[in-house]
Homo-oligomer: A and B are copies of this chain.
């Protein structure tokens, strides 16, 4: 049962073993790559940070189109990509649609990237 069973985790505690501990399997790598791909665009990264840092933890699309130079359909497209990657959730409430970040997904990626302390390999840093 190495799959995650908890819906949410305390911040700072990843759900999964850091990738530095053991090599990723093909399936895990494929799924994680899809999530990272959603983060691989500057607009999406800013959208996600805008949503996650918005008061109340969620933001209306109307709050998200202003800060960018791209068109409204493009914003909508990027939000869809983030949603399909499982990084944000969304819900229509009356006229507006609200988006929020999914902490479990972010913490999963965060935990995966945590590098271990390697006291035994000091000189390798940098170039």
Which residues of A come within 8 Å of B, CB atoms? Answer: 7-8, 10-12, 18-24, 26, 29-30, 32-33, 36-37, 39-46, 48-50, 52-53, 56-58, 67, 89, 91, 100-104, 106-107, 109-118, 120-121, 124-127
Contact = CB atoms under 8 A, between A and B. Distances in A.
A20 B115 contact: no
A117 B45 CA distance: 20
Contacts of A32: 39, 42, 45
Contact of A45 (B20, B33, B116): B33
B21 A89 contact: no
A30 B18 CA distance: 25
A11 B116 CA distance: 5
B115 A101 contact: yes
Given A39-B33, A42-B29, A106-B114, A89 B12 contact: no
Nearest to A37: B40
B30 A124 contact: no
Q: Which 10 pairs across A and B sit closest by C-beta, in order of nearness?
A: A103-B115, A20-B52, A37-B40, A19-B49, A110-B113, A36-B39, A57-B121, A29-B42, A106-B115, A33-B42
Contacts of A101: 20, 115
A19 B41 CA distance: 15
